[in-house]
Amino acid sequence: MSDTDPQKSPAAHTPTVELTRQLIARQSVTPDDGGCQAILAERLRAAGFTTTPLRFGDVDNLWARRGTAQPVVCFAGHTDVVPTGPLEKWDSPPFVPTERDGLLYGRGAADMKSSLAAFVTAIEAFVREHPDHPGSIALLLTSDEEGVATDGTVRVVEWLRQREETLNYCIVGEPTSTTRLGDVIKNGRRGSLSGNLTVRGIQGHIAYPHLAHNPVHEAVPALAELATVVWDEGDEYFPPTSFQISNIRAGTGATNVIPGELHVQFNFRFSPESSVDSLKQGVHAILDRHGLDYGLEWSLSGMPFLTRRGHLVNAVTDAIRDETGCVAELSTTGGTSDGRFIATWCDEVIELGPVNATIHKLNEHVQIADLEPLARIYRGVLSRLLLAS
């Protein structure tokens, strides 16, 4: 069933599906917003929100809030998407929302325009029923999550901090579900620490190794040791810290030249059981023990964060159970998200969104039948956090 087929399923006409389609149609490849935030801001203003566009560098951000009291329940997400990849390999144009066999196709369908649509329709329904609700509802959006993430959520959080705008609870709309809606929520994420290692040798002719010094030969034992170290055992929420080499390069491309330098890129995804300092010290100790002549540049892109069972986790898991019958698993696996920035200013942060099986892939899609239930879950979280006595 194509997008232009007049006999669409009834589910395709629901408010959340229609708003998702509207957002998918906007070409918002990072860091471009493509006008998505303007669409959402207009809907929120009609629901009584004050909206504040925040542009940092080339990045569009949006802060919207309804109410002045606490607690503040914030929904957060991103309007930018990853590039499409080869257009000819898509079964339908990536920025033309297309329905086939109960699925809605398009770049950003799962990551994360359906979540944004569900945020807004959930808020609209909640406000219609409870126009004088206690507390406050907020929405934080960026167009810089899929890119370098320097002028997006991290800058908005700093802006909120300077204004002393407190956040009590935050739900990030990342696609966390694995096989069915609501089966997994993220109640934390591992930290990410990267290293760029240069091991120095002496370039020379391959036939005269005594006149050269091969940095590859020197580095391999140290790299092998780094790959086998048990950095920590993790804990009840986090898997053990992982060390992975992502890139190795050396040489001129000629087969008869001993390289003068070896370049290695590696990354730690680390639990709170390890610190940044302990990981750095461990790496340097191994490199030094192997007697390498090296330089090492470090880059920290995110610290681990965790939301333990409490008001937010309970509200989310209860809302999922009541809507789907699913008992949600708490998980901290996967990559980093903007939750790492929000967690520096908000004590309780979780991530919940649709099934993530096709995110960043060709023919990205989402189950149409999941979209209204997702909105009802978000609405249920609002009710539990703002209306509970």
CB 135 within 8 Å of CB 65: no
pLDDT given at position 13 = 82
Q: What pLDDT, on the 0 to 100 scale, is given for residue 24?
A: 98
Position 16 scores a pLDDT of 98
Q: Which one of the listed residues 32, 33, 60, 80 is annotated catalytic?
A: 80
- pTM for the structure as a whole: 0.88
Active site residue 80: yes
pLDDT of residue 6: 37
In the chain, the DSSP E strands lie at 50-56, 59-66, 72-78, 98-100, 103-105, 136-142, 167-172, 184-186, 188-189, 191-200, 204-205, 242-250, 257-258, 261-270, 294-302, 305-306, 329-331, 346-351, 365-367
Q: What pLDDT is recorded for position 34?
A: 97
Of the candidates 148, 154, 146, the one whose C-alpha atom is nearest the C-alpha of residue 343 is: 154
pLDDT of 8 = 52
Question: What pLDDT was estimated at residue 256?
Answer: 97
Over the chain (389 residues), the average pLDDT of each successive run of 10 is 45 88 98 98 98 97 97 98 97 97 97 98 98 98 94 97 96 98 97 97 97 97 98 94 97 95 98 96 98 97 93 98 97 91 95 98 98 98 91
Q: Catalytic annotation on 32? A: no
Give how far the C-alpha of residue 333 lies from the chain's centroid of Cα atoms, to the nearest Å: 11
Q: Which of 124, 145, 151, 351 is catalytic?
A: 145
What pLDDT is attached to residue 327?
97
> Cβ of 42: how many Cβ atoms within 10 Å?
10
